[in-house]
Homo-oligomer: A and B are copies of this chain.
């Protein structure tokens, strides 16, 4: 079946039905989640606020606290939202609760899709194959860019375009205007590191002294990990007050 591919350049541009959703926050949350899955971190719980994350870790002391606020780890966190650091950390068999500014809320916004996958450059081919095989109503696949608080993010649009390219290798597709634009960005810049480095997100992370994360996020097709909501990660559920 022809796959109808749309890119929501911002979470507000989600146009249901989404079919299969792939959420992208390449610098850095989706790259972090792919890394956590790859490293054997189980379970992976997402929290939409730092407070929710702290309460979850207080209820279950075995959980690592991972994430950022303003780009850096909040006080008491075990790790920041740094995929380059996490790639070297001892995580196998450990559980974690993860909170980030844009990526986690974007995944939350996508939670109404039939299937929710996490995509980045590192798992580009694998997440494209997983989305293609998952099917979805009318063959729809929606790639959702987490973007930035101030709007459009060049890094995520570019990554979405790389995913569109990978999907096009798998069969016949119809592209929305935004999917076509994203694809044009991917084809226009063959060097992902250069593109990410020039994006506002890449420059921000570099100013924080974390350029190694930009290098790491720019690796393409280096991972086969495809985090799927309800399978490899879920959202923190808080106990109901009695």
Which A residues have a C-beta under 8 Å from some C-beta of B? Answer: 9-10, 12-13, 15, 148, 150-155, 157, 176-178, 180-181, 184-185, 187-189, 198-200
- In the complex formed, the residue of B with least CB distance to A189 is B184
17 residue pairs bridging A and B, Cβ less than 8 Å apart: A9-B9, A10-B13, A12-B12, A13-B151, A13-B152, A151-B177, A151-B178, A152-B176, A152-B177, A152-B178, A154-B178, A154-B181, A176-B200, A180-B198, A181-B185, A184-B185, A185-B185
| Contact of A152 (CB < 8 Å), options: B9, B153, B200 | B9
In angstroms, Cα B159 to Cα A165, docked, is: 23
Chain B residue numbers with a CB within 8 Å of A185 are: 181, 184-185, 188
Write the nearest CB–CB distance from A187 to chain B, whole angstroms.
Answer: 7
Copies of the polypeptide in the assembly: 2
- In the complex formed, the residue of B with least CB distance to A151 is B13
Inter-chain contact B177/A184, CB cutoff 8 Å: no
Taking chain A's interface residues, is the majority helix, strand, or loop, or is none over half, making it mixed? helix
In angstroms, Cα B187 to Cα A13, docked, is: 25
| Contact of A151 (CB < 8 Å), options: B15, B153, B198 | B15
Write the nearest CB–CB distance from A52 to chain B, whole angstroms.
Answer: 28
Starting from the known contacts A9-B9, A184-B185, A187-B188, 15 additional A-B residue pairs (CB-CB under 8 Å) come to A13-B152, A15-B150, A151-B177, A152-B176, A152-B177, A154-B177, A154-B180, A154-B181, A155-B177, A177-B199, A177-B200, A181-B185, A184-B188, A185-B188, A188-B188
